[in-house]
Amino acid sequence: MLSSWDQLKGHAEQRRMFQRSMAQNRLAHACVFAGPPGTGKREFARLLAMSVFCRNHAMEELRVCGTCRACRAFSAGTWPDFHEVGLLSGKREILIGQVAGEGEKRGREGLCFDLSMKPQSSDRRVAVINDAHRMTAEAANALLKTLEEPPAQALMLLITDSPETLLPTIRSRCQQVRFFSLSDTDIRSILLDNALVDIEETADAVSRLCEGSVETALQLLDGDLRKLRDVVAQELQLLETMNSLATTNAAVETIEQISSNAGEQRQNAQWLLKFVSDALRERLRTLVSGDLSDPLTQRLGARRGVDLLTSMLTRTVTTSGQIDGMVPVSLAVSSLFDDLAQTLRAAMKGSSP
Ligand SMILES: [Zn+2]
């Protein structure tokens, strides 16, 4: 968990927005933080809460000192005016008990009850509801009641990557705050600063591929997708001498190994295409940068090398549509690598000394 705003990457505009609305005393009782997964919405919400409680900074500064009683207790998870709910381990939904108490304890326990109490150690109570779109209908309706008549000192932050599946009545009672994907540079520093990766090249490759999401970056670093990524890196390392049959076999075998059904096979095949495109794009970058030592430049000249890689990239992108269009994965993959190898051979042949 982050303990200072300096550690948060991106989202500067959202931070300024909260500073403004706090300074003007216009802070809403409830906000929906909506945006792609793995971009730091929850970290932002927690820092916002910590800033509300910090004793050494006025709320509108939106800063935390990290050392006052409130900051220390907040970081230790013992600050009594902060409440957080989310999916319990093994559950796919946020349950009524978490929001409003279960059975006999309905209305006398849970998040809404906590929020209705006077703050204990500060002048506000702050609640974070993670995966807010996963509330059961019962839980959502209980929260709706609190949103309709919010306790004066309550601040509720609903986090979601699927705002369209929240009850419209909930959405309309919250201020909407959009979060966006992180930049490649932000992801790269998150990976390196937190020692999630120790090789810079890996951090570069993963940050290019993860579409601005730390969650996706971690998937790429760990387990199945990593296996597939490694296969592509290995097979395409010597692009000029790519063997289409060996590459197809390695790719299809890995996809079958890491997928438990046809749907997953298609998803993983799409990842394969992203890895292939990324490798081609990287090579393109080398050529465009005027690196004369690149074998393709030496053989074809930079201009023709660029044309070749561009047509290979275009061919790779077409395969994505085929896979969505239900062409069997093994067929789509083998025809892709056959075509790539053939395009390469034709270009080389045309240039043979
Ligand atoms: Zn503090």
What is the 186 CA–ligand 1 centroid distance (Å)?
A: 26
**Residue located via tokens 């000029």:** 240
pLDDT at 238: 87
b/e burial code for range 60-79 (CB count within 10 A of at least 16 → b): bebbbeeeeebbebbbeeeb
How many CB atoms are closer than 10 A to CB 269? Answer: 26
Could you report the average pLDDT of every consecutive run of 10 residues in the chain (353 residues)?
A: 88 95 91 96 97 93 95 96 96 96 93 96 96 97 96 96 96 96 95 93 94 93 92 91 94 96 95 96 90 87 92 96 94 97 89 58
pLDDT value of position 47: 97
- Confidence (pLDDT) at 353: 53
Q: Where are the domains of the chain?
A: 5-178, 183-221, 224-350
- Decide: 62 and 74 in contact? Cβ < 8 Å: no
Distance 120 CA to ligand 1 centre (A): 17
CATH number assigned to the domain covering 5-178: 3.40.50.300
DSSP structure class, residue 82:
E
How many angstroms is it from 122 CA to the middle of ligand 1?
A: 12
Q: SS3 for 158?
A: strand
Can you give the pLDDT at residue 244?
94
Distance 235 CA to ligand 1 centre (A): 52
Sheet hosting strand 154-160, strand order edge to edge: 82-85, 125-129, 154-160, 30-34, 175-178
Give, as residue ranges, everything with CB less than 5 Å from ion ligand 1: 54, 56, 65, 68, 71
Per DSSP, the residues of 277-298 read: HHHHHHHHHHHHTT-TTSHHHH
pTM of this prediction exceeds 0.85: no
Q: 73 C-alpha vs ligand 1 centroid, how far in Å?
A: 10
Compute the distance from residue 76 Cα to the ligand 1 centre, in Å. Answer: 13
pLDDT for the residue numbered 351? 67
- Ligand 1 centre distance from Cα of residue 19 (Å): 17
How much distance in Å is there from the Cα of 65 to the middle of ligand 1? 4
pLDDT at 284: 93
pLDDT given at position 143: 97
Beta strands 175-178 and 125-129, pairing class:
unpaired
The rounded distance, in Å, linking the Cα atoms of 265 and 233 is 19
